[in-house]
Structure 1
Amino acid sequence: MSSVYIADIYPGEEKAIDEPVASLLSQLQDLFDGSPLWLILQSDILDKDANNLDWLSDDLFDQFLNKSSQISSKNPALLLIDSPGGYSRVAYRISRLFNRRAGFIAIIPRYAKSASTLLSLGSEYIYMGKDAELGPLDAQLPDVDREGIISALDEVHALEQLNNNALSICIDTLNQLLEATRKKTEFVLPHALEYSANFVRPLLENVDAVHYTQMARVLRVAEDYAIRLLILGQKHSFDNARAIARFLVQRYAEHEFAIDYREADGLNLKVKMASPKLSEIFTELIPYLNGGINLVGQFTKKEEPQNNNKISNTKKAKKTAKTPKKPSKTVRSKT
């Protein structure tokens, strides 16, 4: 008999993790005194065998729920995250699975973007590598008409920008009329208002009020989830949690914005820089993550015969081309 390590959700108990990766994960676990280690390592390279377990999908949550009895109720779990994201509700529900037991510590060697950032907010604190990234929580949604992905934040901000433009036009017009006519404000204000309204009316007539409301609600969902996780996991006050959540949802210029350790610390997230030893492990692990690796579930030692077939999806070779396989793995709420 020989000892091997597995990720018990994917690829499952029948395939061992390649020894170099297993060794690094074992070393990481030892740094935290052998605390239970759970993996959400999800490559953005096509894995036809992953069956929706290579992103934060409903199927992934179901698998974690099936394993929930294994989550420790005594000691915080370690949750090693490398994921481009998925559904916001899945991130919230997985985070709460751990919160309801003994909680968890998030460990991010490379990135946890979008919904996986949301997932990490439920941790007691977040260990980040020196080059690790979190991401904004602005929701991204598939748009059938445009045959692509749209930003809910862009949709909402577009109407807000129209409103700001209308106010600016009104004020500028009012000042010009006051200077040109020397009449009192109450006489020229109606003309300024009419001019401003006529200017923006053609644009506002094309706004779908129902669609705008839907987009605003999607953003609110991500914000509400973030507030709750920040309070439950990182023990922020409501006011601090709301301020952090709103910033993550609304204040970044693009969805791919890289939130590094310094930025995250400036947001008052409870983050810790990886220790020198942990950084060494990250340095050796990252090439495997870049090469394409999908490991999900509890990191567990297993005894089995010497002729075990080891998993071969952990490559240190150069990346293959990305292949689109599903809507963008971002913070989304399908309701």
Structure 2
Amino acid sequence: MSRDLLEELSERAAPVSKASNADILVYAGKLSREHDDEVIDLVLQRRRRENVVFFVTTYGGDPDAAYRIARTLRRAYKRVIAVVAGFCKSAGTLLVLGADELVMFDHAELGPLDVQLWKEDSLGERSSGLTPTQAFLSLDAQVHQALQSTFLMLRLDLRLSTKTAGELATRTVAGLYGGIYAQFDPLRLGEIQRAQAVALHYGRRLVEQRHRDPRSDSATRVGLSLA
């Protein structure tokens, strides 16, 4: 971020900081373990006011990093106000779940809690962790439909016995879809499911912590506002 932009942000943030008795924190970029320690150290070393207004824009990243930042903000400040003016995807959505208030501009955009995975054979490219899982579920539904329709055709139209129709339908569908299933790596799918479960657990934990917090009365729980 350029010095001129930082100076402009500081100038614009000053009235907000004064009115809310809040520090101003801006995070723009990928959420990763390379940067979460920097944010945590910055908050702990330079906290000056009791509240924080947290501007965030990100395509997401590491859910562990998002959770650590959100947890630190809740512990360090009395009130956390998250502001989203543009895109805030994946782990970014997890990050703002820890806020007491969520302010969204007209063009603000949140995304699902899906982990971002490195694409194989693609340098620096990521894909949604929901993609392979959804592909597997979609394939499973197609196989079930194909097996059912093939069995009914053999049993009712060709009047084969139930046993013969079932065996032929199973072999036919296995031959059609077996090669596709062979492309799925079960260990990789397990890793993806685990990563998704971790992100979901973090989100639930942040929400539960907010509701258990005695400072979170009806006036401080997360709500949506248009700026």
2:14 counterpart (23, 26, 29) = 26
Q: Which runs of 5+ in 2 are unaligned?
A: 213-220
1:143 paired residue number: 119
**Structure 2 counterparts to residues 3-82 of structure 1, below 5 A:** 17-18=6-7, 20-30=8-18, 33-42=19-28, 54-66=29-41, 67-68=43-44, 70-71=46-47, 75-82=50-57
Contact 1:71/1:98 (8 A) holds in 2: no
SS in 2 for 1:105: strand
- Tell me how far 1:103 sits from its aligned partner: 4.6
After TM superposition, the structure 1 = structure 2 runs for residues 30-179 of structure 1, keeping only pairs within 5 Å, are: 30=18, 33-42=19-28, 54-66=29-41, 67-68=43-44, 70-71=46-47, 75-101=50-76, 102-147=78-123, 148-179=125-156
Where do 1:136-285 residues align within 5 Å? Answer: 136-147=112-123, 148-182=125-159, 185-233=162-210, 235=211, 270-274=222-226, 279=227
1:41 to 1:94, Cα distance in 2 relative to 1, 3 A = closer
Using the alignment, how far apart are the partners of 2:194 and 2:69 within structure 1?
22
Q: In structure 2, how many angstroms separate the alpha carbons of the residues matched to 1:207 and 1:17?
A: 47
| Equivalent residues, number | 216
- The residue aligned with 1:260 is none
- Higher helix residue share: 2
1:198-239 deviation per Cα after TM superposition (whole angstroms, max 9, x unaligned): 221122223222122222222222222222222223x39xxx
Report the CA distance between 1:26 and its aligned residue: 1.5
Residue segments in structure 1 that go unaligned for 5+ positions in a row: 1-9, 43-53, 237-268, 280-335
Letter in 1 for 2:84: I
**1:189 Cα shift?**
2.3
Tell me the CA shift for residue 123 of structure 1. 0.9
Is residue 40–residue 83 contact of structure 1 (8 Å, CA) maintained in 2? Answer: no
Q: Distance in 1 between matches of 2:85 and 2:69?
A: 20
| Structure 1 pair 193–84 and aligned structure 2 pair: CA distance change class (3 A) | closer
| Amino acid aligned to 2:133 | V
Shift of 1:93: 0.2
CA offset digits 1:162-209 (Å, max 9, x no partner): 221211111001111222134564552232222222221122223222
Q: CA–CA distance in 2 between the matches of 1:226 and 1:63?
A: 22
CA distance in 1, matches of 2:167, 2:107: 56
TM-score (norm 2): 0.79
| Identity percentage of aligned residues | 23
Distance 1:34 1:273 in 2: 16
Distance 1:163 1:82 in 2: 36
- TM-score, normalization by structure 1: 0.56
Q: Please, what is the CA RMSD of the aligned residues?
A: 3.0
